[in-house]
Amino acid sequence: MDVASPEQVKAWCLANGFHPNRALGQNFLVNVDALGGIVDASGVNAGDMVLEIGPGLGVLTECLLARGVHVHAIEKDTRLADRLRTNVEAELAARGVAAPGSLTLVAADALKTDWDALFASRPFSACVSNLPYSVGTRILLDIARNLAAPPVLTVLVQTEVAQRFAALEGEKPRGQAGVWLQLDFDVRIVCEVSPASFWPKPEVGSSVVRLDRHPCALTPAERNLFYMLTKAAFMHRRKQLGGFLRKQPQFPGALDALAAVGIPPSARAEELSNAQWLALAKQIAACR
Ligand code: SAM
């Protein structure tokens, strides 16, 4: 089957009694240009070890394998995982598109993956994924927060979500996910992908986002505090930080820390840059 052909994908689903599952975000990419766009944006090279979450029918997987990379794919839907395992790898090897053994297929829930164990076992250079809508942010955050995660993450997500990942201080979509991702990564929206590039067609547009790891000098204690502090602050994003922190016994010395790093107590969570959150977390950690 040509998995980039909407007709062939529909015919396969019909013939196999397979109904794309909305809860699993099964909107399959069926546009060759969009596919090339995400793989080009990832910058992967032959020989790289690439992590893919949610390979689905394998359209992105095939494209990656054809570029000579080794793909480690994690798919929750066992029917799709079985199809990939039994048909696709052998078929691609027979066609000379991929070297035998270049696809590792794991039928599992990415939300339950032991990332520490996986990242310790394989030297991933990138993660390239068309993430399921409903749990994409959680999966990406689980991966990105792991210090052994691949240094480059290229993902396709809803445009609204992509904007949250990339939003800087003072911008409307600024929130916890963006602040957490930007702690360790430069986040860039590469391009938009229209709903017509998927089957079934989603109601909203999508965007390719590339995240490149940058150095971040936080001790484990400071990092822990950064996460706790920003999580609590964004749960009360409309509140002024001074008033909010005064009532938070888990951050002793936080008001003095605010003053020490030059943040006005009237500032709100979404107005702080990542550099300011970092400075504040370090200052509070130093007072503990
Ligand atoms: N990569 C394919 C493509 O581009 O056409 C499919 C992408 S589709 C948007 C998302 C895929 O993620 C589906 O195959 C779905 O079954 C899978 N998926 C959903 N939740 C998952 C989870 N928790 N862990 C792993 N895979 C998941």
Q: For the chain, where do the domains classified as CATH 1.10.8.100 start and end?
A: 220-287
Closest ligand 1 atom to residue 133 Cα is 9
3-state secondary structure of 201: coil
Amino acid at 225: L
Q: Is 59 in the pocket of ligand 1 (CB under 6 A)?
A: yes
d(CA 241, CA 265): 6
Closest ligand 1 atom to residue 28 Cα is 5
Q: For the chain, where do the domains classified as CATH 3.40.50.150 start and end?
A: 6-213
Q: Is 48 in the pocket of ligand 1 (CB under 6 A)?
A: no
CATH match for 6-213 among 2.60.120.200, 3.40.630.10, 3.30.70.1400, 3.40.50.150: 3.40.50.150
Entry pTM: 0.96
Query: Looking at residues 22-44, what average pLDDT do you find?
Result: 96
In the structure, what pLDDT confidence band is assigned to residue 130 with cuts at 50, 70 and 90? very high
Closest ligand 1 atom to residue 129 Cα is 1
Q: Is 136 in the pocket of ligand 1 (CB under 6 A)?
A: no
Span 73-101, pLDDT tens digits: 999 999 999 999 887 777 877 888 788 88
Please tell me the class of the 220-287 domain: mainly alpha
Span 44-78, pLDDT tens digits: 999 999 999 999 999 999 999 999 999 999 999 99
Distance 132 CA to ligand 1 centre (A): 5
* Cβ pair 8, 62 in contact under 8 A: no
What was the pLDDT predicted at 257?
Answer: 95
d(CA 34, CA 190): 11
- The owner of tokens 């893919």 is 52
Which residues neighbour 178 within 8 Å (Cβ) at sequence distance 6 or greater? Answer: 164, 165, 166, 167, 168, 187
- Of all protein residues, whose CA lies closest to atom 18 belonging to ligand 1? 54
